[in-house]
Amino acid sequence: MLHDDRIWSVSKIESAEELARMLTEMTWCCCKAFSVRGDPQYVWVNDSTSTDRLQEYGVLKRNCSDGKIMQIESITFSCCNCDQALRFIQMTLAGNDDNNSFVCEISLMLQTPLEHGKCQHCA
Ligand SMILES: [Zn+2]
């Protein structure tokens, strides 16, 4: 399950392709989250234990009108190559993960990079 003591900073990425590259080629600090421009309801949040461990991401869908957040998927991007990661991201963006059997509502804090500033994880 997602770390509940973190507040994530959500960066907007220009495309699914760019996000796939970023998630497979780089290690991000534990408070980083991403969404793809044009699809703000889907958010990938870093759920890794630390920056030197496997990079696991929770995939969230937020309801932009009532603020409810569901976790719909969980992906270890450090085990994927860029093409695999892109396929996962495109599946999510196409709504294919919306009805996964383990979808559950969660509560967590998402901020814009400006609101987030610097926390203990990204210092
Ligand atoms: Zn931070």
Instruction: Write down the pLDDT at residue 13.
Output: 98
What is the CA(39)–ligand 1 centre distance, in A?
23
Alpha-carbon torsion, ordered 74, 53, 85, 120, to 10 deg: 80
CA–CA dist 48, 99 (Å, integer) = 24
Rounded-to-10 torsion of CA 101, 76, 87, 91: 20
Ligand 1 centre and the CA of 36: distance in Å?
19
Ligand 1 centroid from CA 81, angstroms: 26
**What are the extents of the domains in the chain?**
7-111
How far is ligand 1, taken at its centre, from the CA of residue 83, in Å? Answer: 28
Instruction: Name the token pair of 2.
Output: 């997602």
Q: What is the value of pTM for the model shown?
A: 0.94
pLDDT digits (tens, 9 = 90+) for 41-95: 999 999 998 888 889 999 999 987 888 999 999 999 999 999 999 999 999 999 9
pLDDT of residue 1: 59
Q: 56 forms bridges with which residues in the sheet?
A: 76
- Find the 30 Cα to ligand 1 centroid distance in Å: 7
Closest C-alpha to 42, from 103, 1, 84:
103
